[in-house]
């Protein structure tokens, strides 16, 4: 009987991809979230399966069907995502954090639906943990890749995030450009490295960008072992 042997340049690697925008509950019927569609993260997961990786996809809610062959973990909030990601971290070789994690969550979650009244409503928010920062602090053999959507000062912000979060590189995109960012099928990205090298990519399909990102990961993997 033939044993299944995956082929491809990510064969033998376990990768963790996060996707979607987390939802932070306000009351039983409402939440705070963001414009992330999950398309980039799902494209990354599908591309990694095609290249032979064992793929763990930790996903906030999206309208998308998880790609075939992916181990999928559904979460809603940033706290739930933190828990799943930390559970998987020691066993994976690569983490790509395409998820848009809410920076804040409502401090109190109302048990009942909040009724409207004639005055306004103030919702107090408290800070969520920075998952990628935590991963950076605990990094051993793993390759860590971040994502950043920016509306201004792209390179500066990106370089600061690479350093602060101890990343191997960051995929930055200016979401004010047509053809980049939320909900689109294409992206215009810059790969920003810790040595300040920057690679500006042309507009491309999110699946194509996913493969470009895995190319970069494969290059880095030759320099690292468990």
| Numbered residues of the known binding site | 103, 113, 147, 161, 165
Nearer residue to ligand CTP within complex by CB, 46 or 158: 158
**Binding partner at 78 among ligand CTP, Ca ion, none, C-beta below 5 to 8 Å by kind:** ligand CTP
Nearer residue to ligand CTP within complex by CB, 38 or 146: 146
205 binds Ca ion (CB under 5 A): no
215 binds Ca ion (CB under 5 A): no
CB of 3 to ligand CTP, least distance (A): 36
Given 12, 29, 87, 103, the residue binding Ca ion (CB under 5 A): 103
CB of 131 to ligand CTP, least distance (A): 3
CB of 187 to Ca ion, least distance (A): 18
**Angstrom distance (rounded) from CA 2 to CA 126:** 54
Size of residue set near Ca ion by CB under 5 A:
1
**Angstrom distance (rounded) from CA 84 to CA 39:** 20
Contact letters for ligand CTP, residues 155-184 (x by CB under 6 A)? ------x-----------------------
Considering only the stretches 62-70, 103-111, 113-121, 170-178, report the one whose residues sit in contact with Ca ion under the rule CB under 5 A: 103-111
Size of residue set near ligand CTP by CB under 6 A:
13
- Tell me the catalytic residues: 34
Nearer residue to ligand CTP within complex by CB, 10 or 96: 96
CB of 134 to ligand CTP, least distance (A): 8
Tell me the three-class secondary structure of the chain, residue by residue: CCCCCCCCCCCCCEEEEEECECCEEEECCEEECCCCCCHHHHHHHHHHHHCCCEEEEEECCCCCCCCCCCEEEECCCHHHHHHHHHHHHCCCCEEEECCECCCEEECCCCCCCCCCCCCCCCCCEEECCCHHHHHHHCCCCCEEEEEEEECCCHHHHHHHHHHHCCCCEEEEEECCCCCCCCCCCEECEEEECCCCCEEECCCEEHHHHHHHHHHHHHHHHCCCCC
Cα end-to-end distance, the chain, whole Å: 31
185 binds Ca ion (CB under 5 A): no
By the criterion CB under 5 A, which residues form the site for Ca ion? 103
């Amino acid at each position: 009987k033939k044993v299944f042997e995956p082929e491809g340049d990510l064969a033998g690697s376990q990768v963790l991809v996060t996707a979607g925008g987390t939802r932070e509950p306000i009351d039983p019927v409402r939440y705070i979230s963001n414009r992330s569609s999950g398309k980039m993260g799902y494209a990354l997961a599908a591309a990694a399966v095609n290249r032979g990786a064992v793929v763990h996809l930790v996903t906030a809610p999206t309208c998308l069907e998880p790609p075939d062959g992916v181990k999928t973990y559904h979460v809603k909030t940033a706290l739930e995502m933190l828990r799943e990601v930390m559970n998987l971290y020691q066993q994976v070789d690569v983490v790509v954090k395409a998820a848009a994690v809410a920076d804040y969550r409502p401090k109190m979650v109302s048990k009942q639906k909040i009724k409207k009244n004639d005055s306004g409503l103030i919702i107090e928010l408290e800070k969520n943990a920075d998952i990628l920062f935590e991963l950076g602090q605990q990094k051993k053999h793993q390759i860590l890749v971040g994502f950043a959507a920016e509306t201004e000062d792209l390179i500066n912000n990106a370089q600061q995030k690479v350093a602060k979060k101890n990343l191997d590189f960051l995929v930055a995109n200016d979401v004010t450009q047509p053809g980049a960012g939320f909900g689109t099928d294409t992206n215009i990205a810059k790969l920003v490295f810790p040595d300040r090298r920057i690679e500006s990519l042309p507009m491309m399909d999110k699946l194509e960008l996913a493969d470009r990102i895995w190319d970069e990961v494969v290059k880095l993997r030759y320099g690292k072992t468990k």
